[in-house]
Amino acid sequence: MEMEQEKLVRAAFRTIKGVGSQHLRQLIAYFGSAVKAWDAPQSNYYQVPNQGKWVGEILKRRNTIDLREIGECLSKQGIGMITPDEPDYPPLLTELADAPPLLYYRGHLRGDEEVLAVVGSRQATAYGKSAARLLARDASAKGIVIASGLARGIDTAAHQGALESKGITWAFLGCGLDRVYPLENRHLAEEILERGALISEFPPGAPPLAAHFPARNRLISGCSRGVVVVEAAERSGALITVDFALEQGREVFAVPGPIFSPVSRGPHHLIRQGAKIVEGIEDILNELPSWSKQASQVSLNRELLPKETELFERLDHVSILQQLSDVPLHIDQIAIHSTLPVSSVSLALLELQLGGKVTQLPGQHYVLAREC
């Protein structure tokens, strides 16, 4: 009961204009808890270090806020709250000096999960989406949670890949959980809630402001053991996530891309700086020995994709290989002759590339690899 009251009070502070996670941490450190800060006399607030207008807002607003109403509103929206003192709070986040003193979430959180972040460009190519989807699918099939930001492009593909293997994925939002941003991903968000979670440090009602997304990115990297970048411009949000990852002591991985693509420049820059090259999930597992052991156990014990699905994937590969020769063929032509959607063809082509059977040429053209 005391913890529930503490969470309600922390949520109440976050509804006050100008009071962010940093200010809330400051109040908890000074007073000992949010409840004690809420009940403290006005005179004590004048002793709080690094005061600003936010202290005046607290003194003006706290007597007008109904804690019960906040709790009822969150409950109606299916939004839960969790603090670093609780076991299901993402454990690696607790290591951060700026760990949010309160996270809002919808769905299911478990604190014993290993997490891999997969991030990249919103303007992703078919190659990038397929790579992100395949990596997320394979990692998820080995019991690893996929964390990303629900954005268009690579984030979307990463979440979809995890869901395809019946795995768990966490989507961190740069706004309140009473809305989904971008709106086009609302159906994806609902799918995520079946097994995973939508997470935010921003209270309900907070809009998706540009300033919120770097804060969101630090949580994506902070909760993860490693961060994989799949396509990114030289200046992008994905590389901001990498900066956070390096500060937090996380492993950084990058998927190489076609040299003609501008969104290959970010990953290639990271590789030159020492990021590990990723061509498949084994490259990640080899860098994280504890994950390799876990993945072996999951492979033995966990039900993977149905056999029927595996059979259809093999048939897709055969259908594509039968079309290819030394003459370049565009992905759209392959899709037409395969009677498959372009997304399925992209994923199959990526798998064939990783298997050394197909070579990609500029302009999304493909030929058989020479060894075939």
Write the secondary structure of the chain as one string of H (helix), E (strand) and C (coil).
CHHHHHHHHHHHHHCCCCCCHHHHHHHHHHHCCHHHHHHCCHHHHCCCCCCCHHHHHHHHHHHHCCHHHHHHHHHHCCCEEECCCCCCCCHHHHHCCCCCCCEEEEECCCCCCCEEEEEECCCCCHHHHHHHHHHHHHHHHCCCEEEECCCCCHHHHHHHHHHHCCCCEEEECCCCCCCCCCHHHHHHHHHHHHHCEEEECCCCCCCCCCCHHHHHHHHHHHCCCEEEEECCCCCCHHHHHHHHHHHCCCEEEEECCCCCCHHHHHHHHHHHCCCEECCCHHHHHHHCHHHHHHHHHHHHHCCCCCHHHHHHHHHHHHHHHHHCCCCCEEHHHHHHHHCCCHHHHHHHHHHHHHCCCEEEECCCEEEECCCC
Going from N- to C-terminal start, the domains of the chain cover 2-70, 107-301, 307-368
Paired sense of beta strands 103-107 and 80-82, if any: antiparallel
Alpha-carbon distance of 31 to 65, in angstroms, equals: 20
pTM (2 d.p.): 0.81
At the topology level, CATH places domain 107-301 in Rossmann fold (3.40.50)
Residue-level pLDDT, tens digit, the chain, 372 residues: 699 999 999 999 999 999 999 999 999 999 999 999 999 999 999 999 888 899 999 999 999 999 999 999 999 999 999 999 999 999 999 999 999 999 999 999 988 889 999 999 999 998 899 899 999 999 999 999 999 999 999 999 999 999 999 999 999 999 999 999 999 999 999 999 999 999 999 999 999 999 999 999 999 999 999 999 999 998 888 999 999 999 999 999 999 998 889 999 999 999 999 999 999 999 999 998 777 555 555 544 444 444 434 444 455 677 788 788 777 888 888 887 776 777 778 888 888 888 788 888 888 888 888 653
Provide the pairing of β-strand 251-255 with 358-361.
Answer: unpaired
Fold classified for 307-368 = Arc Repressor Mutant, subunit A (1.10.10)
Of the candidates 14, 21, 188, 176, the residue with the CA atom closest to the CA atom of residue 98:
21
Give whole-number Cα distances, 226 to 65, 99, 275, 307, in Å.
41, 17, 11, 30
| pLDDT value at residue 330 | 87
CATH 1.10.20 corresponds to the domain 2-70: no
The pLDDT of residue 89 is 97
pLDDT for the residue 334: 86
Question: For residue 43, what pLDDT is reported?
Answer: 93
pLDDT at position 307 = 44
Neighbours of 305 (CB within 10 A): 14
